[in-house]
Amino acid sequence: MNPLTKANNVNSSINNQSEIQTAKPAFRRVPAKAKLVPYGALLLALGLLSANVASAFDFVPFGEGTLPNGNIVSMFQITFAPGESFPWHFHPGPLWGVIVSGSLTEDEGCGTALNVYPAGSAFSETPGRVHQVFNYGTEPVVINFAAVLPPCYANYNNSIFVDGPRCEGNSGRSHLERIPPCEPR
């Protein structure tokens, strides 16, 4: 007999709920719902977190090339959906960005005012300067980037993550981070 036909026959033999409840099991029954609720909530939370991490931003590589001195020119585009952010980090080489759409908010920490870059504006980033960025707006932020990086930072490996800036007392300034050197080949 076809397994599907067999399953349909079994299901059709149960006419109503009272027939299901008349058979008493020989063991104490704990409803599966009560046992699975904490796990379901945990799995849901993990799923939401992983979905948020997985969609932290959209990345489109435009290309990389090697300069005569060995440094890499890297060009790419990043899109942040509304509410998305990129955590504390710095770059190992100079980086320039053009805001194509949306409005990017940058936090340099140390009590400084936030920087807001609307569509049509451009900015540069100094190597070693720690910052984090946010899309607090209602439309995606699209940024086109160009960077010049040491050769060991090829393949769009242009952000180094840190816990936050090292502030210089109450001055509102932060120390530039040391760029990890390339290992000799």
Q: Which residues make Cβ contacts (< 8 Å) with residue 123, sequence separation at least 6?
A: 96, 97, 99, 106, 115, 117
Do the Cβ atoms of 57 and 84 come closer than 8 Å?
Answer: yes
For the cut 70, the answer to whether the pLDDT of residue 49 exceeds it is: no
pLDDT band at 173 (very low <50, low <70, confident <90, very high): confident
Mean pLDDT across the stretch 62-82? 97
CA 100/CA 137 separation, integer angstroms? 14
Across 46-70, average pLDDT: 72
pTM higher than 0.75 for the full model? no
What pLDDT does residue 56 have?
A: 57
Residue 18 zone, left/alpha/beta (φ > 0; ψ -120 to 50; rest): alpha
Least confident of 97-111, 124-138, 161-175: 161-175
Q: Give 57-161's CATH code, choosing from 3.90.1150.10, 2.40.50.140, 1.10.274.10, 2.60.120.10.
A: 2.60.120.10
Q: Please answer whether residues 175 and 126 qualify as being in contact, where contact means their C-beta atoms are separated by less than 8 angstroms.
A: no
Strand duo 95-101 + 141-149: pairing: antiparallel
